[in-house]
């Protein structure tokens, strides 16, 4: 498909020049843009070739001169028109979904659920990590947009939020909103109350009918749903080991092999680390990377061994400084 053809369709959509049926089909597919696993199995060349063939076939069908045979099916033209729109939308979804989302400023959402005794990890687009516990669900945007990074939680989760003072992170859980700039804390919603335990940084709690509360490390508060109030608790936060049990939150190493440390980093952040100097594998290191982002963790490692690093998606490279 040529870029000008794509631009024409988008312009018609934005200018409300499509009929109701066409517009409904476009918007229906836009709501399902996150399901693009089939397209991702194709190479870039295959995607382009497939898109060109689909659009060429569509143009040929639309531009064919009317014949007696076509006139016999005149009543089917609205159906064919809808099918053509559907066909074109499929092509757009597979091959122009990123550009389409940017133009229409549509935010896609995903959800992750957890049940049973195991813990489920979710790594968000900003690098934040959420550890879901018990019967829980997290709803989050595939890419954060706007001034706030907002998610919704049902149940319990341990949060490691990447620091970004310009874009506060906000969790909605029941009637309680928890806002942070970059910190770690645990939220648990059960038995008509929501308990927040802070591990690091500052946490701001608010609700519609209660005065806001600020928590610091080793502090906790409870939101009582029947009273709609936030109560700061006098007793200290639960033991860190209890809150982080079953997660990879703790990243403290004492005289550990570099190869083992890198393996732990790979597992936690779901990346693949390549390092050119294999001799460092058996070196020993003592360090604490707990509550650090992937960038900070790799940066600290590279400083220790006087190396450069490069992060490209899920691939991390460590190499000697030039």
pLDDT tens digit string along 250-274? 999 999 999 999 999 999 999 999 9
**Least confident residue range of 170-179, 213-222, 272-281, 288-297:** 272-281
| Mean pLDDT, rounded, for 262-289 | 91
Please give the pLDDT value at position 305: 87
Let me know: does 236 contact 218? Beta carbons within 8 Å.
yes
> Is 175's pLDDT higher than 60?
yes
Write out the residue limits of the CATH 2.60.120.1440 domain(s) in the chain: 109-244
Please give the pLDDT value at position 240: 86
77-104 vs 20-30: helix axis angle to the nearest 10? 50
Please give the pLDDT value at position 58: 45
Please give the pLDDT value at position 29: 47
Token couple for 236: 């200290």
Task: Provide the CATH number for the domain formed by 109-244 in this structure.
Answer: 2.60.120.1440
Write out the residue limits of the CATH 3.55.50.30 domain(s) in the chain: 252-320
What are the distances in angstroms from CA 67 to CA 59, 64, 71, 73, 167? 17, 9, 6, 10, 60
CA distance 190 to 312: 40
E-strand stretches of the chain: 109-114, 120-123, 129-141, 149-160, 169-173, 176-180, 184-190, 193-200, 203-207, 210-215, 220-224, 229-232, 252-257, 272-275, 284-288, 307-312, 315-320
Please give the pLDDT value at position 252: 95
Please give the pLDDT value at position 285: 93
Q: Residue 93 — very low, low, confident or very high, per pLDDT cuts 50/70/90?
A: low
Please give the pLDDT value at position 278: 78
CA distance 65 to 166: 58
Give pLDDT tens digits for 108-164: 899 999 987 789 999 999 999 999 999 999 999 999 988 999 999 999 999 999 999
Class of domain 252-320: alpha beta
What are the distances in angstroms from CA 102 to CA 10, 48, 87, 111? 12, 20, 21, 21
CA distance 272 to 318: 11
> Is 35's pLDDT higher than 60?
no
Helix (H) or strand (E) holding 82: helix 77-104
Q: Residue 38 — very low, low, confident or very high, per pLDDT cuts 50/70/90?
A: very low
Chain-centroid distance, C-alpha 308: 28
258-269 vs 294-304: helix axis angle to the nearest 10? 170
Say which residues have a Cβ less than 8 Å from residue 235's Cβ, sequence separation at least 6: 220
Please give the pLDDT value at position 32: 45
**Least confident residue range of 167-171, 209-213, 236-240, 261-265:** 236-240
Q: Which of these, 175, 181, 179, 130, lies nearest to 157 by C-alpha position?
A: 130
Please give the pLDDT value at position 72: 45
Helix (H) or strand (E) holding 30: helix 20-30
CA distance 112 to 140: 9
For the chain, give the percent of residues with pLDDT over 70. 66
Let me know: does 216 contact 198? Beta carbons within 8 Å.
yes
Q: Which of these, 314, 298, 307, 305, lies nearest to 282 by C-alpha position?
A: 305
Share the mean pLDDT of the chain: 79
Q: State the sign of the Cα–Cα–Cα–Cα dihedral 292, 293, 294, 295.
A: negative
Token couple for 8: 């024409």
Residue 24 sits at φ, ψ, to 5 deg, of -65, -40
């Amino acid at each position: 498909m040529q870029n000008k053809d794509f631009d024409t369709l988008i312009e018609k959509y934005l200018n409300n020049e499509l009929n109701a049926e066409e517009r409904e089909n476009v918007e229906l597919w836009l709501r399902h843009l996150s399901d693009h696993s089939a397209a991702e199995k194709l190479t870039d060349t295959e995607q382009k070739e497939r898109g060109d063939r689909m659009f060429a076939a569509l143009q040929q069908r639309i531009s064919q001169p009317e014949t007696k045979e076509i006139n016999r099916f005149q009543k089917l033209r609205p159906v064919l028109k809808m099918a053509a729109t559907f066909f074109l939308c499929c092509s757009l979804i597979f091959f122009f979904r990123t550009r389409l989302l940017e133009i229409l400023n549509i935010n896609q959402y995903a959800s992750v659920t957890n049940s049973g005794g195991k813990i489920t990890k979710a790594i968000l687009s900003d690098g934040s990590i959420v550890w879901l516990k018990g019967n829980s669900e997290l709803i989050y945007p595939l890419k954060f947009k706007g001034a706030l990074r907002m998610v919704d939680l049902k149940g319990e989760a341990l949060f490691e939020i990447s620091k970004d003072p310009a874009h506060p992170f906000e969790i909605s859980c029941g009637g309680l909103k928890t806002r942070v700039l970059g910190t770690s804390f645990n939220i648990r919603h059960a038995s008509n109350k929501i308990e927040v335990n802070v591990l690091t940084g500052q946490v701001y709690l608010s609700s519609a009918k209660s005065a806001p509360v600020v928590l610091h490390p080793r502090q906790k508060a409870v939101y009582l749903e029947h009273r709609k109030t936030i109560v700061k608790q006098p007793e200290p936060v639960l033991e860190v080991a209890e809150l982080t049990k079953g997660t990879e939150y703790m990243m403290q190493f004492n005289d550990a092999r570099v190869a083992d440390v890198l393996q732990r980093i790979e597992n936690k952040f779901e990346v693949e680390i390549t390092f050119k100097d294999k001799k460092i594998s058996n070196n020993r290191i003592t360090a604490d990377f707990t509550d650090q982002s992937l960038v900070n963790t790799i940066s600290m490692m590279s400083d220790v061994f006087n190396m450069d690093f490069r992060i490209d998606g899920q691939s991390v490279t460590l190499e000697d400084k030039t």
